[in-house]
Amino acid sequence: MTAATAKRILLTGFEPFDKDSVNPSWEVARALDGALIAGGVVHALQLPCVFGAAMPVLDEALAQLQPTLIISLGLAGGRTDITPERVAINMDDARIADNAGNQPVDQPVVREAPAAYFSTLPIKAMVRNLRDAGIPASVSNTAGTFVCNHVFYALMHRLARRAGPGVRGGFIHIPALPQQAAQHPGMASMALETQVQGIRSAIHTAMTVQEDLQENAGQLH
């Protein structure tokens, strides 16, 4: 199999934001650009960390590539593990401004659209396989209300309305890099090579597992 005959996998990451000079979501995505994984080739795409501007960039890539798998990555500073997200909510409520100075409060991502969408990725199987590989991972039940959730929701809304059969999508949050944690004492971090290995595993799972595991991944709070 060659890149020309492989299925297309779109893997997105964000530009740096909030005074950081690096964003692990983009570093991981670009490290995997061109990788052949389980019959698919990865196409990395950087998104602006800007409400309303990220989705036109993603829309153009979706139209051009027509991928069978779309995974968006984002930084969750403070988290200790790789966390596939379960649900996106139709709400923009920014604690800080985005890179264009926008700070929406209690605004829908898409007007007159459903309150939420669930990921169509096999998130529990992803977590199981990551843990089996010795990589910290857990299911997350909140993608926040910043640009990460904005992109996650808008992506799932588009897939629900337009995607053909077999197209899957979702969002995965990843921890900070050690160089970021060095500037924030006490912040959790994960080495870039571990994150790249973890997202490669997550992609492989998404390409090969059709029915997700039925096992507990709930939380009390």
Q: Where are the domains of the chain?
A: 7-208
Please tell me the predicted confidence (pLDDT) of residue 6: 82
* Active-site position among 173, 193, 204, 211: 173
Say which CATH superfamily domain 7-208 falls into: Peptidase C15, pyroglutamyl peptidase I-like (3.40.630.20)
Q: Beta partners for 19?
A: none
* Active-site position among 27, 43, 49, 148: 148
CA gap 210, 42 in Å, rounded:
19
100-146: per-residue pLDDT in tens? 999 999 999 999 999 999 999 999 999 999 999 999 999 999 999 99
Ranking 16-20, 147-151, 200-204, 207-211 by mean pLDDT, the lowest is: 16-20
Question: What Cα–Cα distance (Å) separates residue 88 from each residue in 82, 91, 109, 174, 188?
Answer: 17, 9, 10, 16, 24
* Active-site position among 27, 49, 85, 157: 85
135-191: per-residue pLDDT in tens? 999 999 999 999 999 999 999 999 998 867 789 999 999 999 999 988 888 889 999
Contacts of 200 (CB under 8 A, 6+ apart): 32, 35, 37
Q: Known catalytic residue: 148?
A: yes
In this structure, what are the phi and psi dihedrals at residue 200, rounded to the nearest 5 degrees?
A: -60, -45
What is the DSSP track for 140-192? BS---SSHHHHHHHHHHHHHHHH--TT-EEEEEEE-B-HHHHTTSTT--B--H
Length of the chain: 221
Cβ atoms of residues 26 and 48 within 8 Å: no
Q: Known catalytic residue: 215?
A: no
Q: Beta partners for 171?
A: 72
Reported pTM: 0.95
Question: What Cα–Cα distance (Å) separates residue 81 from each residue in 70, 159, 174, 189, 201?
Answer: 21, 27, 7, 8, 14
